[in-house]
């Protein structure tokens, strides 16, 4: 029998003893890991915005069916937040749009704005574009104050022949042009965060979200184009229609690259952006984000996306305080901590309501006393 060298034998015996005395490691899923910070720093939670604000990115899918009691409860919650106006981007078109306007603005004429949506059924058939333009004009006559484009355009929408409809499809050009003629903005959501197209491994910072929402992973889908292709199509629309105001939703998914977003805004004076569901990007780069928002203070609108009153508190704290190391409201979007931007008051006013007054027609300026 071959004898082990003395040092090797000692090491083996020590490792064996250590293994016998050490309890097995506890395994924990990252979804369950919720460390409580021991950091002691000043905290200034904010539950009501300093100024009245316009939420330019909201969804009330049942607007046309809401009861008086439901609307009253919604407005009471808005009042508690200091939300002067909610922009419902889910108005639909035709009878649904008309019903949404009648319910929301019929009871609260100045507190709600309703955007129309396009019906893409039949795109590719003769006369579709003309019908869509006529329907848009009808929706505006019926009270729509803007047009909202959902992310299915470019991402998954197919025409009547089964071909993908790119965002810059020429068949849509008359619609963008008509929005310019009518003086209404187009709030457009294109693509999703770029990591949804990247390798789903331990280096992907949206790995947790992709685990919890696997249908959002696009990298392995042959029917969906690359992220850069989708973004290029969107920016091409902005360039082709300089007389139409576009609101690029979700910071255009460039909140992680504010320099690039700034170059887009510099190039295209008809383009604005909004903050729906992306403030985690700003909160992790407080010095860069603060300087960027000060520079582009005339081009950014307040927006939240999903309706949850308590989540607005994180927005207010981010914008209005210099607090350090606080939580974003949704772990799967951001596993990191946030840092307050302590924005100057003139920047707050522009983001909260002044830019919306310039971009969205028909807002009641008396709701925003200077």
pLDDT digits (tens, 9 = 90+) for 51-76: 999 999 999 999 999 999 999 999 99
CA distance linking residue 154 with residue 172, whole number of Å:
12
| CATH code, 52-306+344-367 | 3.20.20.140
Name residue, tokens 């922009």.
87
Give residue 9's pLDDT: 44
Pick the more confident residue, 14 or 202.
Answer: 202
Spacing of C-alpha 28 from chain mean position:
31
Which of the four pLDDT bands, split at 50, 70 and 90, describes residue 21? low
Average pLDDT over residues 112-130: 98
Q: Is the pLDDT of residue 2 over 60?
A: no
Name residue, tokens 């197209």.
197
Tell me the average pLDDT of the chain. 93
Task: List all residues 6 or more positions away from 259 whose beta carbon is below 8 Å from its beta carbon.
Answer: none
pLDDT digits (tens, 9 = 90+) for 257-302: 999 999 999 999 999 999 999 999 999 999 999 999 999 999 999 9
Average pLDDT over residues 237-245: 98
């Amino acid at each position: 029998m071959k004898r082990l060298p003395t040092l090797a034998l000692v090491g083996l015996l020590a490792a064996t003893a250590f293994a016998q005395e050490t309890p097995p490691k506890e395994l924990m899923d990252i979804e369950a890991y919720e460390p409580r910070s021991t950091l002691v720093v000043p905290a200034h939670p904010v539950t009501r915005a300093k100024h009245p604000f316009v939420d330019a990115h909201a969804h009330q899918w049942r607007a046309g069916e809401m009861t008086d009691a439901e609307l009253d409860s919604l407005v009471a919650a808005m009042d508690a937040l200091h939300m002067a106006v909610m922009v419902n981007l889910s108005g639909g078109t035709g009878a649904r749009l008309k019903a949404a306007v009648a319910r929301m603005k019929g009871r609260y004429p100045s507190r709600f704005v309703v955007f129309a949506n396009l019906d893409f059924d039949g795109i590719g058939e003769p006369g579709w574009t003309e019908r869509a333009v006529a329907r848009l004009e009808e929706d505006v006559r019926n009270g729509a104050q803007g047009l909202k484009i959902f992310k299915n355009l470019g991402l998954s929408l197919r025409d009547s022949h089964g071909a993908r409809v790119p965002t810059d499809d020429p068949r849509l050009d008359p619609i963008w042009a008509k929005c310019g003629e009518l003086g209404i903005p187009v709030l457009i959501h294109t693509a999703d965060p770029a990591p949804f197209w990247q390798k789903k491994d331990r280096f992907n910072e949206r790995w947790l979200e992709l685990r919890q929402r696997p249908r959002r992973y696009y990298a392995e889908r042959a029917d969906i184009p690359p992220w850069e292709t989708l973004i290029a199509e969107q920016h091409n629309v902005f360039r082709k229609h300089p007389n139409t105001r576009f609101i690029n939703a979700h910071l255009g998914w460039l909140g992680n690259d504010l320099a690039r977003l700034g170059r887009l805004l510099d190039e295209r004076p008809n383009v604005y952006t909004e903050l729906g569901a992306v403030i985690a990007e700003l909160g992790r780069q407080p010095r860069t984000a603060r300087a960027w928002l000060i520079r582009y203070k005339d081009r950014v609108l307040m927006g939240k996306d999903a309706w949850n009153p308590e989540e607005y508190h994180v927005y207010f704290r981010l914008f209005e305080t210099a607090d350090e190391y606080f939580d974003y409201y949704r772990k799967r979007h951001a596993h990191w901590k946030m840092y307050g931007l302590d924005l100057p008051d003139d920047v707050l006013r522009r983001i909260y309501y002044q830019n919306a007054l310039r971009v969205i027609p028909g807002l009641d300026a008396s709701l925003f006393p200077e």
